[in-house]
Structures are given as structure tokens and as C-alpha cells.
């Protein structure tokens, strides 16, 4: 009985820890509307960072957000993040190949 209680408690603690890292994406059209009313772009970027959400925007979506009032500074941030994410994915994809070809600091 005691063992099962410990397992249940550990499982619940581990699962509750996952909730801390949950991503809650912001509605970009709502942010664009806020930008149109004169919201501070730095505050908008801060909210985007805190949400930890990642957006993959097409050129058409960027234009629509711009036309809807999204500040240029926020659009630039979103595009930089998208590029950084793509670079990180590429590095992660290439890592095993690099590791195989440079074992112990020497080429294979």
C-alpha cells in the first residue's frame, strides 16, 4: 500500500510539472488589433516571449497582420524567431552527422 501511494504521488508531481511548461499561444489577430489602438510594441513582444508559442507565418499572413495594425517591431520579432527556430532545427538535424564525421576531434 505504501509503495503504491508513493508511485501515485510521484506521478502526480511529475504530471503537474508538465503543466508549468504548457504553451498558450496568443491570438495574433487580437495582438494586431491592440497594435492598431497604439499598444506598446515592447509589451506585445514581452507577452509573446512569455507565451513561449512559436508561429510559422507565411508572407501573406505577415502582410495581413501588418494591414491589421501589427507594429513593424513585433512583426520583425516574429520573423526573427521563425528564422532562429529553423536554424535550431537544422543544427539539431545535422548534429548526428557532424558527430559521426568528427569523432574525438578528428575527421573520419
What pLDDT, in 10s, does the model give residues 25-66?
Answer: 888 888 888 988 999 999 999 999 998 888 999 999 999 999
- Coil/strand/helix, residue 87: helix
- pTM (global) more than 0.85: no
Please state the rounded mean pLDDT for residues 10-36.
Answer: 71
Q: What residue ranges do the domains of the chain occupy?
A: 23-105
Please state the rounded mean pLDDT for residues 3-11.
Answer: 62
pLDDT at 20 (0 to 100): 52
Phi, psi of 5 (to 5 degrees): -65, -40
Which residues does 70 contact at the CB level (< 8 Å), separation at least 6?
A: 28, 31, 32, 35
**Confidence band for 79, pLDDT divided at 50, 70 and 90:** very high
CA distances from 48 to 14, 23, 38, 42 (A): 26, 11, 17, 10
Amino acid at each position: 500500500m505504501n509503495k503504491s501511494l508513493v508511485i501515485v504521488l510521484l506521478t502526480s508531481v511529475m504530471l503537474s510539472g508538465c503543466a508549468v511548461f504548457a504553451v498558450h499561444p496568443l491570438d495574433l489577430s487580437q495582438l494586431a488589433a491592440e497594435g492598431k489602438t497604439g499598444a506598446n510594441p515592447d509589451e506585445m513582444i514581452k507577452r509573446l516571449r512569455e507565451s513561449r508559442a512559436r508561429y510559422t507565418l507565411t508572407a501573406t499572413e505577415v502582410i495581413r497582420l501588418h494591414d491589421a495594425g501589427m507594429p513593424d517591431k513585433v512583426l520583425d520579432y516574429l520573423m526573427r524567431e521563425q528564422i532562429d527556430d529553423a536554424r535550431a532545427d537544422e543544427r539539431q538535424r545535422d548534429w548526428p552527422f557532424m558527430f559521426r564525421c568528427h569523432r574525438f576531434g578528428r575527421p573520419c
